[in-house]
Amino acid sequence: MTLPPYLDKNGRLCPGDTPDEWQQYRILDGSGEYHMCGLHPRELPCGAMVPKWFETDEDVPSLPRSEWRSTPDMAPYEWNNRYQNGYPSCCLNSICGTVEFLMARDGLARSPLDWHKLWVETTGGRGGCAVDRALQHAMQEGIPVKDSTDRVFIDEAWDVNTLDDFANGLQRGAMGVGCHDVHAECVVGLVMDGSTPYVQMVNSHYQGESADRNWHLFRLDRLELRTYGAMLIRDAKLRSVDTDGLIDAKG
């Protein structure tokens, strides 16, 4: 087994110490590496928070599995590598990554999002977070932009009830957050291998020359929907916020 570069031989975070309660989020992967994850079980039943597209109140069109196709490659739209750096912040990184991919694909301003500040806002800097709580914060309070008072608000999201709904949403241009093994990841598309559907995931465990290791395929049926949930995001908007915390309605 090897420890990630941010842990010393005693398993402590460098610099400083990893709080003992964070050890529950350290997960051993299949290659013998430990990674800090940070996902809590969802707080509400699947579909309870946003049962339809937020603000549009429409259902996602459903395709039979026989008509599922691989979605376009999103790798050309990756412009900002997110790295957890030992924090149990996977679901906050995943939400930020999803929004950054959407904004790049749709030709919007590439405003780097501050996942660390979002993590502090949603957890108080004390540990992990559930995806439904994190998404609710991003919809109501917005996601902070780095070195700015501006925020990005998620305008259209869906808390799916089934994995088929998740796959159909991906095929209709949404991206989202998929969860497994105490870990949340950004999901940018669907990949069909014959009749077997996979989701294209982008992790937040590597940086620099190793950043391409964040990309991997994961079987759709291995997502732990009932425990952690799966969220689709279709649209987000950058809005100016003044020093008093008031949102510019014209932003």
For 57-73, write each residue's pLDDT tens digit.
566 667 899 999 999 99
Residue 1: predicted pLDDT: 35
The pTM for the full model equals 0.86
Residue 31: predicted pLDDT: 78
Listed as ranges, residues in the chain with pLDDT below 70 are: 1-18, 48-61, 242-251
3-state DSSP of 93-113: HHHHHHHHHHHHHCCCCCCCE
The topology (CATH level 3) of 39-239 is Cathepsin B; Chain A (3.90.70)
